[in-house]
Structure formats: C-alpha cells, structure tokens
Amino acid sequence: MLEHPSSNPARSPQSPRPVLSVGLPVYNGSKWIGDAIESILEQSFTDLELIIADNVSTDGTEAICRSAAARDARVKYHRNSTNIGLYRNFDRVFELASGKYFKWAADSDFCLEGFFEKCVAALEDRPDVVLAYPRAYLLLWGPDGKEVAVEYYEDFNLQDDRPSERFSKYLDRERINNVMHGIIRASALRKTSLIRPIPASDISMIAELSLLGKFVEIPDRLFVRRFDPETSSMMMNASKAAERDVPLGRTLKQRVTLHAYRLVTPLRAPISLSEKLRVWLYLSRGYAMLAPKALRKLARVVIPGR
C-alpha cells in the first residue's frame, strides 16, 4: 500500500523510532486478534510499531502473533512470564513503546482506513492537543444472534482552555471510555498515573490526561468496538473476570482507593492553583452526592441487622 508523505513524517537517520506505537495487550484472543492485527498493519499511515504483550495465553494467540511478527517487522511480540492482569498488561505495552504518539488496541476491536492518518495529522497540527479520536461503531449482538454495527455517539471534543472545564466535562459525559482507544501524545501520557489495578482507573487516567491538554474528535467513524460479555469488563461475569484477573469494583477498598486517586490527581498536574481548586470543588460536589448512599452501605456492614 502506498504511503502518504504528508501523514507519515520521515524518521531521522539517527533515530529508528516510529512516529506511532500501537500497544495491544491480549489474553486468549485467538478468536478475533488476527482481524485486529490486520486492521492496524493495513492502515495508510505506516510509520508505526505494533507491540503485543501476551498474558500467557493458552489458546492459539501466540501462534497467530508470532506469524504476524514473522511477516511484518513492525510487529513486536512479547509473551509475559506470568499473567500480570489486564490493567498491568495495558501499562506494559506503553512501557515498551518508543513512538511520539501512542494508541491502545484490543484483540476484539478493529480500526477502519484513515484512523491513524487523520488522528496523527490532528496531533501534528495542534501542539495543544494531547488526544485525537474518531467516532465509532459498536458491535452488539442482535436478536437473531448475529452482530450488528450501531453508530455510537459521544462528545469529547474538549477544546476548553481551562483544564478544570475539560476534566469535569469528560467525567460528566463518560460512559464506556471509547476515547481511550484514540491516539495520545506519549509525552503527556507519561505524566499520568497510567492504569492502576483498580476498576475505572482507565477513566481516571483519561480525566488526568484532560488536565494536560485538549481532545479533538475526528468527525468520521473509523473505529469499531466489540461490546459483549466476552470483551467488555462492564458486562463481564465473575468467572470470566477472574480468568482474566479483572477486578470488578465491588469492594469498599477498591472504591476508596479510586476516589483517593482522583483527589490526588490535581496535585500532580502542571496547572495553576486556582485550576486545582476548581477540580477539587467539582470532585467534592460529586462525593457529597454519593455520601448518603455510601454511609447507608457502611452502616449495613458496621451495624448488625441494618
């Protein structure tokens, strides 16, 4: 496939680093991972590396990935010595990345033509932007048992100059965090806490990223996300979650840890004191609304018979 010079910035002779790193964490993904890999390698934007971190899969995933690496030098396959859990594996692929920009991929999703080219172009044109993402389709199970592509609508075109405005708008509008699968400026992503091994920490990470720069939406549907109990932690049952080491967020400790993480986020961000205070005020309002419900749950635990 022909490269597009305008969207494939040349690498310098001194540096073999790709412009874009795509990180694909996987565990037993043989059902769909071949299509996911193909959709990445066949993009018009070709100056990329595909980093696959395999969490000790027991199906045919390893063979599919090694075959892809043998065919295309841009594919780098890493097999973990032990299963490090879903969230840590997401961080692992970023740790292995060397590109100026980074994208997370999933073994069950795929990218349509133009995804990488248009998102990278947006980031190249706008130094104030830290994340560019396209509109998406969701693949859902229809009543006849077949997958149906449904247009998904979200509004994360966060162009506000105030970091606190971007932060609050993201958390107010977030539902399934599709935006995380956009293309991110790696230098900004390194300043976040990444994904911690607690439920919803991926959402907190993107909220933290919004304090560092603006988000741009590409008005084309170039991403397809499969959304079913096999692939989505939101729909996953307990046995499937245990198999993949995915915490489901049902314990008080997990929830307290997540909210403590969000409260510390403004301290880490390179924003003014007034903006930090605005973020804390927004968070405190949310916690005030949750407090009565949380206290009732705590009472049931502490006071027998309640």
Q: Which residue has the higher pLDDT, 246 or 76?
A: 76
pLDDT at 243 over 60: no
Give the phi and the psi of residue 136 in degrees, each rounded to 5. -135, 165
* Number of domains composing the chain: 1
Q: Which residue has the higher pLDDT, 5 or 244?
A: 244
b/e per residue 156-188 (b: at least 16 CB within 10 A): bebeeeebbbbbbbbbeebeebbbbbbbbbbeb
Say which CATH number the domain at 147 has. Answer: 3.90.550.10
- Count CA within 13 A, CB hemisphere, residue 25: 22
- Count CA within 13 A, CB hemisphere, residue 248: 14
Helix (H, G, I), strand (E, B) or coil at 163: helix
Mean pLDDT, rounded, for 1-13: 41
User: pLDDT-derived band of residue 242, with 50, 70 and 90 as boundaries?
Assistant: low
Mean pLDDT, rounded, for 104-113: 96
- What's the rounded Cα separation, in Å, for the pair 167 and 233? 23
Q: Is residue 39 part of a domain?
A: yes
Is residue 171 within 8 A of residue 285, CB to CB? The reply is no
pLDDT at 12 over 60: no
State which residues form the domain around 86.
Answer: 17-252
Q: Tokens 């920490």 appear where? A: 201
> Which of 164, 50, 158, 148 is closest to 104 using CA atoms?
50
Q: Is residue 273 part of a domain?
A: no
| H/E segment holding residue 221 | strand 214-226
Q: Is residue 216 part of a domain?
A: yes
Q: Is residue 191 part of a domain?
A: yes
Q: For position 171, what pLDDT does the model report?
A: 93
In DSSP notation, 46-115 reads: --EEEEEEE---SSSHHHHHHHHHHH-TTEEEEE-SS---HHHHHHHHHHT--SSEEEE--TT-EE-TTH
Q: For position 214, what pLDDT does the model report?
A: 98
Distances (CA, A) of 56 to 1, 35, 67, 244, 248: 33, 20, 17, 11, 21
- What's the rounded Cα separation, in Å, for the pair 130 and 215? 6
Q: Is residue 115 part of a domain?
A: yes
Cα angle value 31/37/40 (rounded, 5°):
145
User: pLDDT-derived band of residue 284, with 50, 70 and 90 as boundaries?
Assistant: confident
Residue 77 CB partners (closer than 8 Å, separation 6+): 52, 54, 62, 65, 66, 68, 69
Distances (CA, A) of 5 to 38, 116, 210: 22, 14, 30
Per the structure block, which two tokens stand in for 112? 């349509």
Is residue 11 within 8 A of residue 3, CB to CB? The reply is no
User: pLDDT-derived band of residue 289, with 50, 70 and 90 as boundaries?
Assistant: low
Q: How do beta strands 101-104 and 75-79 pair?
A: unpaired
> DSSP code of 178?
G
Q: Which residue has the higher pLDDT, 201 or 212?
A: 212
Q: What is the pLDDT of residues 74-102, one digit of tens each?
A: 999 999 999 998 889 999 999 999 999 99
Mean pLDDT, rounded, for 301-305: 46
Q: Is residue 280 part of a domain?
A: no
SS3 content of the chain, % helix, strand, coil (to 5): 40, 20, 40
Q: Is residue 266 part of a domain?
A: no
Q: Report the predicted TM-score, pTM, of the whole model to 2 decimal places.
A: 0.83
Q: For position 8, what pLDDT does the model report?
A: 55
Report the percent of the chain where pLDDT is more than 70. 79
pLDDT at 236 over 70: no
User: pLDDT-derived band of residue 199, with 50, 70 and 90 as boundaries?
Assistant: confident
